[in-house]
Structure 1
Amino acid sequence: MSLRHTALDALHRSLGATMTDFAGWDMPLRYGSEREEHIAVRTKAGLFDLSHMGEITVSGPQAGDMLDHALVGFISALGVLRARYTMICREDGGILDDLIVYRTAEDEFMVVANASNAQVVLDALTERAEGFDAVVRDDRDAFALLAVQGPEANGILAGLTEADLPGLKYYALLPATVADRQVWLARTGYTGEDGFEIFCTPGDAEHLWTSLSAAGADRGLVPCGLSCRDTLRLEAGMPLYGHELSTELTPFDAGLGRVVRFDKTTNNGEFVGRKALEQASAEAESKAPRKLVGLVSEGKRVPRAEYSVVDAEGTVIGRITSGAPSPTLGKPIAIAYLDAAHAAPGTAVAVDVRGKHEPVEVVALPFYKRAR
């Protein structure tokens, strides 16, 4: 099967991007040094093409009720022009995907799924809409998505829009004109930095990219690929589907039980997976499950996904879900599921790196938190 291309494909290649297959999309991995791109986002700003993400619109008089039934969050309680992080689970509580839902109008929501799960989420929402006065629409081809992330993001956008950027709260959005193009402008991101995500038509994507690049030229803005996006989210302790999240795990297994809202008042409080998630919640409170923690190494060998974590006797006590060198900390870091008995910050454990036990220290997530 041939790869899909975003509206910015030719532009990425003209910039010398190294491309990679990501969930069936040909996407920029890096443009030069992924470390320099990472540092630019932490200190200045980075510009990302995220058009592989899957946008799904749910509209109609019962759109909010339908999403309360389909997802674990209390979506009907979300204010207009606000956003919420949530999940869609199977009947057995396993996570199908983690999502951001934006309420664009009283009776309309935009659900943004991960590229690898977009079709699964679309199919599940379509099935779960049965019996509700709501319409599920596949809008993946209707949008391109750009992101400007980093301390200079606000200043860069300010020169291109009259939108009230200081008044745009975190996890909120508004319809805006950016570089003379009509967009949805959201204060969301996946880097641990302040920044904006810009939903536009594919036909406007190149104009917006070049306008943002010009506006950010004197503020240190650089184009960024998926590689640095992964190390940025890792430092910020943000989960990645297929690593920290999967159908084999519930939100409570992942330490994200807070997103499950048992207090919904619509649909008699029922939603897909409720019974299984109630049981998972009770088990999380009554026994010591594995916990998601951070690991930091003083050595040079990098703990990678699927490596085993062991105690002083060499007994396996967990596994790595994500790992990489941290440009910000200057040392290798990883996220891992560990037995609760070894999960306290400051605990000394080791990672089995191809038969050699590399000492690491357990730390609380996130590894990095920006100054407010």
Structure 2
Amino acid sequence: MDSLKKTPLYDTHLKYGAKMIEFAGFSMPVQYESILKEHEAVRKNAGLFDVSHMGEIIIEGKDSEKFINYMVTNDITKISAYQAMYSPMCYSNGTTVDDLLVYKFSNEKYMLVVNASNIDKDYNWIIENKSGYNIDVKNISNEISELALQGPKSQEILEKMTEYNLDNMKYYHFDKINLDGVDCLISRSGYTGEDGFEIFLKNDYAQSMWEKVLAVGEEFGIKPAGLGARDTLRFEAGLPLYGNELSEDITPFEAGLGFFVKLEKDFIGRDALFKQKQEELKRKIVGFEMIDNGIPRHGYDVYAQGEKIGYVTTGYQSPSLKKNIGMALIKSQFAINGNEINIIIRNKPYKAFVTSKNFYKKNYKK
């Protein structure tokens, strides 16, 4: 673990009794009290996550909008200043470099928030493709900490720390906000299916901000939460995880993210994705629910009618639904709701049926 990168909150996690694991080259808390209790806290009250391992890349210059719009599949010309947009970023063959958030300050300044495992890869991909564009690119990932306050009581907690009227902040919008005397960038966004906020601040203030949010949130039932709950929460809400539902081998269409692919504009991978849409998808990500009493896990094989048709991308015993459920990438002809499939668990087939990926109804503030 000594060779792993650490966020500025590493010592704080140890103080709170976190169980630490390797994730994306970082030593990160997977849980404190328990994944189940942290998951329930976010669904009912609030949870605080350290997501400082995520990457931040600033793109500035007069060609910023034009360049980013060419790099990502979504159309960032549709957002206003201080609005954010989700988008995949693809290779020329249509598979996925990463999925990220584009934060717009102006037509000439943006911040890309990228997955921790892809920071260097994304940065290098951007640099490789910036020729001919009047832009400056800066990777500030090592300078910025990020906290995610998630759950139905998140706003009440933050309101005790700022004079800013959070009622005015819509989903996927952000602003520069003074939070308990610290200048932060706060967005109404998250990765749990609940209302919540993501707080970007300088590393020096991360530890004191963590302690302050937990202290203020104590009366609201807040808990520190680790990567374990983060994964069960995002999975229930049908949100993809890069390396599971998206990868260098999986296109946004296969992942069910066609809504974020705007074929009417030009971008890297557009021709390949246009061709894939014109033809029938050979495989796609589906949800499934177990019939037999087994827990599916990432990587387990999926069979139907005696043949291997794909593999499990994510699988859990859902804390909210009390069911064994999962997502899988399977051949399209079997991707029909209600279809029976078999998940191979310890070399034995366990019955399941195909269902929607949206296991849990999202509770965002629109």
TM bin, normalised by shorter chain, reads: over 0.9
Residues 144/93 of structure 1: CA separation in 2 closer, same or farther (3 Å cut)? same
Residues 341/92 of structure 1: CA separation in 2 closer, same or farther (3 Å cut)? closer
Residue matched to 1:294: 287
Residue matched to 2:57: 56
Distance 1:274 1:128 in 2: 15
Q: Structure 2 length normalisation: TM-score?
A: 0.96
Q: Structure 1 length normalisation: TM-score?
A: 0.94
Could you list the per-position Cα deviations for residues 60-96 of structure 1 after superposition, in whole angstroms to 9, with x for gaps in the alignment? 1110001112222222332111111111111111101
Residue matched to 1:96: 97
Residue matched to 1:240: 241
Distance 2:363 2:202 in 1: 33
Could you list the per-position Cα deviations for residues 95-135 of structure 1 after superposition, in whole angstroms to 9, with x for gaps in the alignment? 01000111023311010110001111001111222111111
Shift of 1:170: 0.8
Residues 105/204 of structure 1: CA separation in 2 closer, same or farther (3 Å cut)? farther
Residues 67 and 76 of structure 1 are in contact (CA less than 8 Å); yes or no, is this contact kept in structure 2?
no
Shift of 1:291: 2.4
Which is worse superposed, 204-213 or 294-303? Answer: 294-303
Q: Which amino acid aligns with 1:305?
A: H
Shift of 1:317: 2.4
Distance 1:208 1:279 in 2: 48
Distance 2:353 2:277 in 1: 28
CA RMSD after TM alignment: 1.4
User: What are the equivalent positions in structure 2 for 1:307-318 lying under 5 Å apart?
Assistant: 307-311=300-304, 313-318=305-310
Q: Which amino acid aligns with 1:290?
A: R
Residue matched to 2:127: 126
SS of the residue 2:315 aligns to: strand
Q: Which amino acid aligns with 2:105?
A: T
Q: Which amino acid aligns with 1:186?
A: S
Residues 288/106 of structure 1: CA separation in 2 closer, same or farther (3 Å cut)? closer
Shift of 1:299: 4.0
Distance 1:346 1:73 in 2: 32
Q: Does 1:344 align with 2:336?
A: yes
Q: Does 1:185 align with 2:186?
A: yes
Residue matched to 1:42: 43
Distance 1:122 1:49 in 2: 22
Q: Does 1:272 align with 2:265?
A: no
Residues 84 and 101 of structure 2 are in contact (CA less than 8 Å); yes or no, is this contact kept in structure 1?
yes
Residues 303 and 343 of structure 2 are in contact (CA less than 8 Å); yes or no, is this contact kept in structure 1?
yes
Shift of 1:339: 2.5
Matched-pair identity in %: 39
* Structure 2 residue runs without a partner (length 5+): none
User: What are the equivalent positions in structure 2 for 1:319-338 lying under 5 Å apart?
Assistant: 319-338=311-330
Could you list the per-position Cα deviations for residues 299-333 of structure 1 after superposition, in whole angstroms to 9, with x for gaps in the alignment? 4421111212222x432222211111111111211
Which is worse superposed, 313-322 or 21-30? Answer: 313-322
Residues 253/370 of structure 1: CA separation in 2 closer, same or farther (3 Å cut)? closer
Residue matched to 1:267: none
SS of the residue 1:141 aligns to: helix
Residue matched to 1:141: 142
* Structure 1 residue runs without a partner (length 5+): 265-269
**How many residues matched?**
363
Could you list the per-position Cα deviations for residues 243-295 of structure 1 after superposition, in whole angstroms to 9, with x for gaps in the alignment? 1111112111212122122223xxxxx32222212112212xxx253221111
User: What are the equivalent positions in structure 2 for 1:106-255 lying under 5 Å apart?
Assistant: 106-255=107-256
Distance 1:227 1:237 in 2: 16
Q: Does 1:369 align with 2:361?
A: yes
Residues 69 and 128 of structure 1 are in contact (CA less than 8 Å); yes or no, is this contact kept in structure 2?
no
Runs of 4+ aligned structure 1 residues displaced above 3 Å come to none
